[in-house]
Structure 1
C-alpha cells in the first residue's frame, strides 16, 4: 500500500491509517493470537477510534488478512483494465503475474505472516474463503463483460476457480519456506501451476 504523493492529502491519510491498523493487527494477532486480541487493544495501539476502524475495515477479520485483500483487489483492477487476447486462462495467469510483480517489496513478508496467522484461527480461514468467493464472482463478471458471455456460463466459473487454485498451490510451499527466493520464486511457481492445468486434465492411468 503506497503513500502516493499524487493523491489528495485526505486520501494519503486514509492510506496511512489503513496501513498502520493492518501492521499493528498483524503484529498483535501474531504475538497474542487473533481471538485473544481485542479490537479495543488494536485501536489503542494505533491511537484511533473504533469508528475510524470501521470506516477503514468492515471486520476484525478483514484487517487481519489485509495482505491477502491487497493482492486480490489489485488483481481485479489489473484484470479489469486488460484487453483480453488469445487464451483466457493465459490472460488470468498474466494478470496475476503482473499483479504480484507490482506489489511493494515488503508485501512478501506481510503475506507470509498473514498466511501463517490464518492457519491459527478458524475464523480467519473461513473469512479468506468468503473473500475469495467474492473475488471469483468478480472475475466471472469481468470475463462475462469482456467476452460477451452470460455469467452462468460454466466455463467462466471453471476458469475463475482455476486461477485462484493455481495461486493457492503455487503459494503454499513458498509460504511454508518463509518466502524463500522472493517474488521471483513465487512467480516461477505460479507459472508452473498454470502450465500444469492442461497437462493435469489429460492425465490418465497407464
Structure 2
C-alpha cells in the first residue's frame, strides 16, 4: 500500500485492496486458463470475496481484465482538470499522459504487458478497450472545449483527444512487442517520439 493509500479513509483503503485483489486474480487466471474459460465464480473464489462484491467493483469480466489499462486512463482524466493549458494543447496532453504513466506503481509495467497480450487472445477484450478509450476521448474533448471556451461542435478538441490516445497506442504497442525492454523510461521515450511525429505526419505529402 502506498503513502497516498494510507492517507485514505479505512473504507476506501479496503475498497482499493479488494479491487486490486480481484484484478490480480483475474489477470493470473485469465493468463493461465484463458479469458473465455474462466468464470466469475472462479475469480471470486481466488480473491476470497463474494460475487456481489465483484460486481460492486467491476461491471464485467472484461472490466476486471483491463484494470491496468483503466488505471492509466483514470489517472489521465483525473489530472487533466488541474493542468493549465499553455502553449500547444497537444503538448499539454502529452505531458499529462506522460506524467500519469510515470506515476503509476512499479508493478504496473508487468500487469499492462500481460493485459495487452491477453487482449490479443480475446476479441471481446479488444472491443472493450476500444470502447473505454472512446469514452476517455469524449471526456477529454469535453474538458478541452470547456477550458478553451470553444463551441461544443468544434471538432479540434475531439481530434486532439484522439491523437493523444493514438500516440499512446503506437508507443504502447511497440513497448509491449519489445517485452517492456528499457522499462518505464523506454515507454515514455516512445510516447514522446509518437507525439513528436504527429505534426510531421500532418505535413507529409507526395
2:155 aligns to what? 154
- In 2, the alpha carbon distance for the partners of 1:45 and 1:171 equals 30
2:144 aligns to what? 143
The superposition leaves residues 119-177 of structure 1 with CA deviations (integer Å, 9 ceiling, x where unpaired) of 10011011001100100000011101111112321101110110000000011110011
> Are 2:74 and 1:88 equivalent residues in the alignment?
no
- In 2, the alpha carbon distance for the partners of 1:150 and 1:107 equals 38
- In 1, the alpha carbon distance for the partners of 2:43 and 2:156 equals 43
1:68 aligns to what? 69
How many residues of Structure 1 are paired with residues of Structure 2 in the alignment?
Answer: 205
- In 1, the alpha carbon distance for the partners of 2:126 and 2:112 equals 14
- In 1, the alpha carbon distance for the partners of 2:90 and 2:121 equals 33
- In 2, the alpha carbon distance for the partners of 1:177 and 1:151 equals 40
Gaps of 5+ in 1: none
Taking structure 2 as the reference length, the TM-score comes to 0.97
2:122 aligns to what? 121
- In 2, the alpha carbon distance for the partners of 1:133 and 1:41 equals 30
Specify the SS of the correspondent of 1:4: helix
1:188 aligns to what? 189
Taking structure 1 as the reference length, the TM-score comes to 0.97
Gaps of 5+ in 2: none
- In 1, the alpha carbon distance for the partners of 2:184 and 2:79 equals 18
1:111 aligns to what? 112
- In 2, the alpha carbon distance for the partners of 1:149 and 1:57 equals 35
